Amino acid sequence: MHSPFPGMDPFLENPKLWSRFQHHLTESLMQAIAPTLSDRMTLVVECRRYVTEEPLFTSIIREQHDEPYLVIRKKETGSILCLIDYPSLTNKTLPQGRTAYLQTRQNAKDYGAALIEIDLLLQGKPLLEFNREGLPEWDYAVTVVRPKFPDRYEIYSATLGKRLPRFKLPIRGEDRDGVIDLQMVVQKAIDRSNLLKEIDYKTPLPSSFPEAKREWVQKFLNGEITI
């Protein structure tokens, strides 16, 4: 089964599906990134753990979260060279999730690592704060920050109607940048997850999505928008 969307499928943002998709995304990213690394580097999966609390009537719902992210380390010393992180719904919608995500990023930054964020979510607030004046609008983006230029953001973006971008993978030192095809990575994750069979495309996206995006998706699925 294939997604009707040319790039990212927004229906995967369903909380019942996202954590499983994120697991397969991690595997696909590892397979894409590993061949670009030199034998002096190692790619590992690490985990962010935190607890969220949400009020429900007269009680508090507490939930444990375990979120994967990728780190490229120098084999000889174990020092971190690059963080590759991909926000969850909780990171973008709840304060505890946001704090945990940004702390992971800050820890890597403190070690002088390159920082990569792969944001494949329409819901929630952006986690990175930078001036977007003069930049085109986008729905999905990979944001790269190099250690030598910590205030400069390289942005590789796409809209709902476009293929996801390729992006550069910076590694500290003399090694050349790798190039990762995010669309191929995501497509492999979707194929392996087999999650599309659980999606009912006749059901509109929930109100937690931006209204303009919900309308675009509905028109696209109805054949009113062609790309």
Task: Indicate whether 210 pLDDT > 80.
Answer: yes
Task: Judge contact between 8 and 164, C-beta under 8 A.
Answer: yes
Provide the residue type at 141 as one letter.
Answer: A
In a domain, 4, yes or no: no
Q: Domain span at residue 182? A: 10-221
How many angstroms separate the CA atoms of 74 and 93, rounded? 33
pLDDT digits (tens, 9 = 90+) for 84-93: 999 999 999 9
Give DSSP secondary structure letters for 156-208: EEE-TTSPPPEEEE--SSSPPPEEEEHHHHHHHHHHHHT-GGG--TTSPPPTT
The angle subtended at Cα 143 by Cα 213 and Cα 20, nearest 5°, is: 65
pLDDT digits (tens, 9 = 90+) for 93-142: 999 999 999 999 999 999 999 999 999 999 999 999 888 888 889 999 99
Number of domains in the chain: 1
- Per-residue confidence (pLDDT) for residue 216, from 0 to 100: 97
How many angstroms separate the CA atoms of 126 and 18, rounded? 18
In a domain, 173, yes or no: yes
Provide the residue type at 123 as one letter.
Answer: Q
pTM of the model: 0.94
Task: Judge contact between 91 and 98, C-beta under 8 A.
Answer: yes
- Per-residue confidence (pLDDT) for residue 175, from 0 to 100: 63
In a domain, 59, yes or no: yes
Task: Indicate whether 16 pLDDT > 80.
Answer: yes
